[in-house]
Structure 1
Amino acid sequence: MRAIIYARLSPTPIGEEAKGGNLAQQVQLSQALCDRNGWTVMEVIMEKDSSASRFRVVDGRKVSVRGEGWKRVVELVRTGKADVVVARHYDRLYRTTRDLVELVDLAEETGVHLAAAQAEGVLDLASPSGRLAARIGAAVAENETEMRIERQMLGHQRRRDSGRPFWSTRPFGFERDGTHRAEEAEALRQAYRDVLAGVSLWSIAKSWNAHGLLSPYGKDWRSSNLRSVLLKPRNAGIQTYSQWVEKPDGRRVRVTEETGTSNWKPLVSESMFRALVRYLSDPERNIGGGGRRKALLSGVVRCSKCQAVVTQGWSRRNAAGERYRIYTCSGGRCITCPADPLDSYVVRQVIARAEEWNSTPARNASDAQRETELLAEELVISERRTALAEMFAVGDIDASTMRAGIGRCDADLLRIRTALGDLTAKQVRVDLGDIEYLWEELDYADPDRIDYARSVVMQVCERVELLPRGRGVREFKSDHCRIAFRNPWAGVTVG
């Protein structure tokens, strides 16, 4: 008989042993069985991280999704190049009765047999006794899968209830036991304040790399991986649970949900974390390509006609072949303006208000009162949400009532936490200090200076708009720019 040896390793969760041994051992046992029976091995096919029980929906019915190796086995059998498929155990070939139906159809079509190195005899799926033995094996394999899933779910539930950290690798800012790594923790706290003050992710990443503050994997920081770390709920002491969810079309997506507070000490407050999430997720935020900023006001100033942000560009060459920097409306070139005069004008206006801002506290009385009210409301709604789940558990309400009530609570909590995040963002202030020489110190070759100047402008100015200069007007004048300044004393109680 001509044989195909098939070896497969299932995807293995972290912390569990691989199911089915290793591939080399599977092949060795299967080869020994072929040698004992005098079978000629036509091909050895191996697959790693391949499941025998996945499926997708096709025309309203579930169809198994097998790896490319198994598809090769079926192809060889259907073309008459094999009489028997050999594996270490039958669960390498099928794990559900649905898979077994497909194998029975294949056996009736081609007459192929199945053989397992750790089982006596050969399964003839064309015979009633062979199919009975196969069904029993499939039922056992399905039960084993269901029990494993149940054990994993109970284990995850225990970890969620305990609130203890469960990290496969050490996260930045923490040790594996949940304690803080001092230098990284302080860098993260400062990064939250800097980002909310307008400093770019690129500048922060550059600073961390320059100080030798690398990722837990020993890699340099970029805007992308820094952004990912800042958006981790664990930094605010929020515990999350991630799981793979099978979609109706067979796709598997990873879903992460917050499950409550943890028992490790947070690096930043929850309101600070949610303020940063809101800021980085703002669709109107000019995130660019994640690199260094090349202009002071690009993405800050808006066009008064279409409200699009301006971007930096270059003018056409004059008769002498020279060009100069300009700001151009990104919405359709409604307005253009020379960049250097506009930068100078806005910075001088900001400097004129430095003393006014430096003399005011960062936190005002109305914000403090509003934060207290929001925190009290959040506590009440959280307790109401917990009470709904307890009422369902004892049978006082049905599932639909519980889901509707929890949905309303979650919407209210989202509203409250968004408001808390906004209040926290308002409290993040740039230390203006002595900025009278800001314009002289601003160096376009140093993006860090650009970031600092931008953060000052964004703190003092609520809105900066470009106005039309008029036909034929080339030079910049003060009436070509409209600035709405923030009121540093809004809501502040004195005395």
Structure 2
Amino acid sequence: MISYARISSDGERDEHGVSDQHRVNRRTAQRLGLRVVAELTDNDRSASKAGVVRESFEAMLKALESGRLPDGTAVCGVVVLNEDRLARRAGDYERFVESLTAEDGRVFADERGRKDLYAEDVEGLGLVGVAFSRIEARKVRRRMKRFHRARAEDGKPAGGTRPFGWAEDRLSLDPIEAPLLAKAAKDFAAGRSLNSIIREWQRDGVRTSLGNEWSSRSLRVTLANARICGWRSLHGEIVTDDEGQPIVGKWEPIVDPATWQAIDAIVRMRKGRSVGPDGQPGNVLAVDFSEHRYLLSGIVRCGKAKADGSPCNGPLRARRFRGNEEMFHYVCQPKSQGGCAGICRHGPKTDEYVSEMVLAKLEEREMQAPRTEAWGGSEELETVQGQLDDLGREWRSGGISNEFFFANVRQLEGRMTQLRAEQGRHAAAAKRRVVGVESIRRRWYLAEADGGLDISQKRAYIREALHAVLVLPAGRGRAAYDPNLLQPFWRNE
């Protein structure tokens, strides 16, 4: 007989890896004078959800249809703990009955004993049992949803693995991890790339709460979780109270809400986007998805004129010279790769001049404008929030129908999400302006080990100031480097 078990991922097992259900199945088979020839397990696979493939269940049906296991061993039946561990969908139960009864004389048994699936009324009773099991499964899921919603609305932390940055109680901060996460959040909001942070953590031996090495995905998920600013989220959405304000959790926050909103805006801006040939994802400020080795890759562009008089405009790529690790040039790609191969410019000098251009522009803007400009969408955000509150009160009082409420609430919530993303992007830019230009200039030329800006942070400031830099031809011969041949295209000009 085949012993089939569907168990959860944390189900009890003995020292040989045998689950409790299989041990019961073995005893049942022995009591009935039968021998178990195979044990099939679907680990942590729901039997009630559509679209879930249970590999062992399918293997069992295949063995019943052929009458043999893949190694040729004959199969005469199936033993399970009880029927609701076998199938909770009518279609699956009917498939099982058809496969088992494909030949006469086969045995089906559970903990209570044999069941004759060849009898006319037994299959009907089994389908009734499946229906009741499915109803119970739905009730359990609803209870679990209400339970998690209630915990979220009370500001209680979610279960699962201990979150990085907090102690085992999930409420107080870990004295070592929390400062690391706070610095990473602020650096990421200020423009530093995930890979740069990960490389630093790997160098310092920083591990996740499970002891694994960090990856871009794991760090992005950690930073994008509203938990780090003290807000409670559920299924990726911020849980709010009756007034539409975020629920504040009972744990200690690591960063302020403005920093997290800046992070959330960056993550949402990158989600589902790809960087095009011009280096920009759509109509938003281009961001670096990985750590660059060169400061101006994709920012400097070829200014050599084509036959029609327009510039080539191909992005210049860095080319390092053999035998000299410090020397490189920015060059236009060959025609086969979309360029014209007509521009080659000294890399370190180009980096230096463009850096000075950007720092000078930042200093100019700092003198001409206030440190932080107010976000222009605050009034609309308050209006939309008020409309949502009014709509919710009318619906709860029975003044409007369900159809009217849900048709309008989705539209308002969509606009609310857009406005909060814009607010987050504004906060991200403000975070980069919090530090004075004098400090930026000083850190620009320091080594990273001495507190200097890394290349991703520098590129963030350059991207914020410039659309691109057009590199014009220098003519023939070995002329002195001429910074006037660098034509910047500033933002907001």
- After superposition, the Cα gap between the structure-2 partners of 1:436 and 1:173, relative to the gap in structure 1 and judged at 3 Å, is closer
Q: Offset at 1:89?
A: 1.7
- Quick check: 1:162 aligned with 2:154? yes
Q: Which of residues 262, 265, 274 in structure 2 aligns to 1:275? A: 262
Q: Offset at 1:18?
A: 7.4
Counterpart mapping for 1:399-478 below 5 A: 399-428=402-431, 429=433, 430-433=435-438, 450=455, 453-454=458-459, 457=462, 461-469=465-473, 472=476, 475=479, 476-478=481-483
- After superposition, the Cα gap between the structure-2 partners of 1:390 and 1:108, relative to the gap in structure 1 and judged at 3 Å, is farther
Gaps of 5+ in 2: 68-73, 241-245, 281-285, 304-310
Say whether the 8 Å CA contact 2:232–2:238 is kept in structure 1: yes
Q: Which of residues 2, 5, 30 in structure 2 aligns to 1:4? A: 2
- Quick check: 1:90 aligned with 2:83? yes
| Structure 2 match to 1:105 | 98
State the alpha-carbon separation in 2 of the partners of residues 329 and 390 from structure 1. 61
RMSD: 4.0
Say whether the 8 Å CA contact 2:265–2:422 is kept in structure 1: no
Say whether the 8 Å CA contact 1:191–1:204 is kept in structure 2: yes
| Structure 2 match to 1:262 | 247
Q: Offset at 1:381?
A: 2.0
Letter in 2 for 1:287: D
Question: How many residues in Structure 1 have an aligned counterpart in Structure 2?
Answer: 447
Counterpart mapping for 1:284-433 below 5 A: 284=280, 285=286, 287=288, 290-291=290-291, 293-303=292-302, 305=311, 309-314=315-320, 324-328=327-331, 332-334=338-340, 335-350=343-358, 356=364, 363-364=371-372, 367-368=373-374, 370=375, 374-428=377-431, 429=433, 430-433=435-438
Instruction: Give the TM-score normalised by structure 2.
Output: 0.75
- After superposition, the Cα gap between the structure-2 partners of 1:424 and 1:76, relative to the gap in structure 1 and judged at 3 Å, is closer
Say whether the 8 Å CA contact 1:100–1:135 is kept in structure 2: yes
State the alpha-carbon separation in 2 of the partners of residues 443 and 160 from structure 1. 41
Say whether the 8 Å CA contact 1:52–1:95 is kept in structure 2: yes
Say whether the 8 Å CA contact 1:11–1:51 is kept in structure 2: no
- Quick check: 1:188 aligned with 2:181? yes
State the alpha-carbon separation in 2 of the partners of residues 464 and 51 from structure 1. 53
Say whether the 8 Å CA contact 2:288–2:456 is kept in structure 1: no
Q: Offset at 1:200?
A: 3.1
Say whether the 8 Å CA contact 1:286–1:299 is kept in structure 2: no
Say whether the 8 Å CA contact 2:192–2:454 is kept in structure 1: no
Letter in 2 for 1:71: E
Considering fraction of residues, name the structure with more strand: 1
Q: Offset at 1:309?
A: 4.7
State the alpha-carbon separation in 2 of the partners of residues 443 and 177 from structure 1. 33
- Quick check: 1:217 aligned with 2:210? yes
Letter in 1 for 2:38: E
Instruction: Give % identity.
Output: 24
Gaps of 5+ in 1: 57-64, 243-255, 491-495
| Structure 1 match to 2:112 | 119
State the alpha-carbon separation in 2 of the partners of residues 442 and 423 from structure 1. 29
- After superposition, the Cα gap between the structure-2 partners of 1:70 and 1:436, relative to the gap in structure 1 and judged at 3 Å, is closer
State the alpha-carbon separation in 2 of the partners of residues 230 and 381 from structure 1. 27
| Structure 1 match to 2:243 | none
Q: Which moved more, 1:183-192 or 1:378-387?
A: 183-192
- After superposition, the Cα gap between the structure-2 partners of 1:108 and 1:286, relative to the gap in structure 1 and judged at 3 Å, is same
Q: Offset at 1:377?
A: 3.7
Q: Offset at 1:303?
A: 4.8
State the alpha-carbon separation in 2 of the partners of residues 135 and 44 from structure 1. 24
Instruction: Give the TM-score normalised by structure 1.
Output: 0.75
| Structure 2 match to 1:253 | none
- Quick check: 1:79 aligned with 2:66? yes
